[in-house]
Amino acid sequence: MVINIRKPQIEDGNLIYHLVQKCQPLDINSLYSYLIICAHFDQTSVLTELNNEIVGYISAYINPKQKETLFVWQVAVSPNMRGKGLATKMINDILKREDIQPINFIETTVTPSNQASKSLFKKIASQLDTNLEKFPFFTSDLFGESNHEEELLFRIGPLNKLEK
């Protein structure tokens, strides 16, 4: 069993799209958006391969209004790989990259019913020995008639210096 964690490449976009389709309750974005993430946000995103199959993916970017904040957009882990710490390893891989330093905060949005994401980000804050704050962000009315749950903003930090 060979696990490889690396930056995504444009050629990975279609495979990432299909991975996200298998990862309920994630919102599926357009294939085009995954291609753009691979092309423009590869420095801050990550994927994991197991025996040459993509089993994990995180899209993230530096918030242009908060240059020391990494915003984690989407975390996808193949159903057969859940519970093995893969998402934590992928986030740590991003945080240790020289070309995105200094990162002092991690932000993400999480719906109240997404227990897996809430647990992941609580675990990250605990491992980094820092704070986790929650704020209202996207209220359900912003999603129109889609019946989408509200999205709470999770803010982790400040981050201590990470060992490379």
pLDDT class of 16 with cuts at 50, 70, 90 = very high
- Between 124 and 113, name the one with better pLDDT: 124
Q: Compute CA distances 123 → 38, 130, 142, 143, 151, whole Å.
A: 27, 10, 29, 29, 19
> What pLDDT score was predicted for residue 161?
55
70 in a structural domain? yes
Instruction: Give the domain CATH number at 86.
Output: 3.40.630.30
For residue range 129-160, what is the model confidence (pLDDT) as tens digits?
999 999 988 878 778 887 778 888 999 999 97
How many structural domains compose the chain?
Answer: 1
Q: What is the pTM of this model?
A: 0.90
164 in a structural domain? no
